[in-house]
């Protein structure tokens, strides 16, 4: 009896410790980052596109299996780029990259569908449909086109040629329909590791879309910013024989630039 009492007392103490410990689950972001978002006539015609999975503000990487799909959308046509991917490292973890030759003026939408990632801390799978948009040689028509992903953020602000301080707007869609009051997580890609958040609450900023699925955010500094709208899938996946929820993320990466003076 004494041993049982000691056991339950120990469990109670452990439970209390867990309750008072700070708990914060940092946001995951699929990442599709090109070497440039605006290709000018005098620039090189090749763009390096890097695919990874991480906590971008903290610069903590995670393993990214070779994606299920990697495509580029241009002029209403989709081209499969999966076979062009080569293994690389981002933040010390497995990532993928390709060199894409830009041959014609216009807007190019790069999108990735990853293999489902099991996240034990959240007891669910994660699939982030991730995209970014570049423009080439002065033609910027079609920047608001949809890529036809299971879930995606369709930009309402032109997703390139933006200054730090500009407002970015997008509409969250799931199966092609707007998602009312969708939750959108936002993080800065802290590439040089110089940015520091005053508290953990400011690593990932969170806003909500309106009843039409539209969200608005004013970016404070130049660099790459990720916007991720999260929804639970209408299907489950098996993990160790049990059905588990699947978090579907609609992610878009947008670059903002410093204001320059003569």
Q: Are 252 and 134 in contact (CB under 8 A)?
A: no
| Paired sense of beta strands 124-136 and 38-39, if any | parallel
Contact 29, 227 (CB under 8 A): no
Q: What is the pLDDT of residue 119?
A: 92
User: Average of pLDDT values for 39-47?
Assistant: 80
The answer to whether residue 262 sits within a structural domain is no
Query: Residue 52: is its pLDDT beyond 50?
Result: yes
Indicate whether 3 pLDDT > 60. Answer: no
CATH number for the domain spanning 134: value is 2.60.40.10
Residue 26 banded pLDDT, cuts 50, 70, 90: low
**249 near 128, Cβ under 8 Å?**
yes
What is the Cα–Cα distance from 193 to 5, expressed in whole angstroms?
Answer: 50
The C-alpha atoms of residue 34 and residue 102 are separated, in whole angstroms, by: 12
Give the position of tokens 């910027």. 140
Write the Ramachandran bin of 203: left for phi over 0, alpha for psi from -120 to 50, otherwise beta: alpha
Residue 27 pLDDT: 82
18 domain residue, yes or no: no
Average pLDDT over residues 141-165: 96
The answer to whether residue 172 sits within a structural domain is: yes
CA distance 230 to 127: 10
pLDDT score recorded for residue 43: 64
For 92-141, the pLDDT digits (tens) are 999 999 999 999 999 999 999 999 999 998 999 999 999 999 999 989 99
Instruction: For residues 2-12, give the mean pLDDT.
Output: 46
Domain count, the chain: 1
Cα 102 to Cα 36: distance, rounded to the nearest angstrom: 12
Q: Give residue 224's domain range.
A: 28-257
For 68, which DSSP code? S
- 180 belongs to a structural domain: yes
Q: What mean pLDDT comes out for the span 82-96? A: 97
**For the residues 196-212, what does the mean pLDDT come to?**
96
User: Which residue blocks in 161-251 are alpha helix, DSSP H?
Assistant: none
Question: What is the pLDDT of the chain when averaged over all its residues?
Answer: 90
* Residues 134-161, mean pLDDT to the nearest whole number: 95
Confidence of residue 51 (pLDDT cuts 50, 70, 90): very high
Banded model confidence at residue 14, pLDDT cuts 50, 70, 90: very low
pTM: 0.88
Alpha-carbon Rg for the chain, nearest whole angstrom, is: 21
Q: Kindly state whether residue 64 falls inside one of the protein's structural domains.
A: yes
Look at phi and psi of residue 145 and say left if phi exceeds 0, alpha if psi is from -120 to 50, else beta: beta
With cut-offs at 50, 70 and 90, classify the pLDDT of residue 25: low
The pLDDT of residue 254 is: 98
Is residue 208 pLDDT above 90, yes or no? yes
Q: Which residues of 35-51 are buried (b: 16+ CB within 10 A; e: fewer)?
A: ebbbbeeeeeeebebbb
Predicted local confidence at residue 41, as pLDDT: 74
Percent of the chain with pLDDT over 70: 89
Asked if residue 14 is part of any domain, the answer here is no
In a domain, 10, yes or no: no
- Write out the two tokens for 175: 């199966």
| Span between the terminal Cα atoms of the chain, in Å | 82
Kindly indicate the confidence band of residue 11, based on its pLDDT and cuts at 50, 70 and 90: very low
């Amino acid at each position: 009896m004494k041993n049982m009492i000691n056991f339950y007392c120990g469990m109670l103490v452990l439970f209390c410790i867990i309750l008072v410990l700070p708990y914060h689950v940092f946001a995951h972001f699929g990442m599709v980052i090109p070497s440039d978002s605006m290709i000018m006539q005098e620039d090189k015609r090749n763009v390096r596109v890097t695919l990874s999975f991480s906590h971008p503000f903290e610069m903590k990487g995670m393993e990214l299996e070779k994606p299920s799909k990697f495509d580029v959308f241009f002029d209403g046509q989709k081209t499969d780029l999966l076979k062009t991917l080569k293994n690389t490292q981002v933040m010390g973890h497995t990532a993928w990259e390709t060199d894409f030759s830009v041959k014609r003026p216009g807007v190019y939408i790069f999108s990735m569908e990853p293999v489902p990632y099991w996240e034990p801390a959240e007891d669910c799978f994660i699939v982030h449909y991730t995209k970014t948009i570049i423009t080439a040689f002065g033609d910027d028509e079609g920047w608001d086109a949809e890529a036809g992903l299971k879930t995606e953020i369709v930009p309402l602000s032109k997703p390139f040629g933006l200054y730090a301080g500009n407002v970015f707007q997008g509409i969250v869609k799931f199966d092609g329909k707007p998602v009312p009051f969708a939750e959108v997580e936002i993080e800065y890609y802290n590439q040089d590791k110089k940015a520091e958040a005053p508290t953990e609450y400011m690593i990932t900023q969170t806003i909500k879309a309106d009843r039409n699925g539209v969200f608005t955010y004013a970016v404070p500094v130049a660099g790459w910013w990720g916007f991720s709208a999260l929804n639970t899938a209408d299907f489950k996946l098996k993990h160790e024989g049990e059905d588990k929820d699947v978090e579907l993320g609609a992610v878009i990466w947008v670059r903002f630039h410093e204001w320059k003076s003569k």
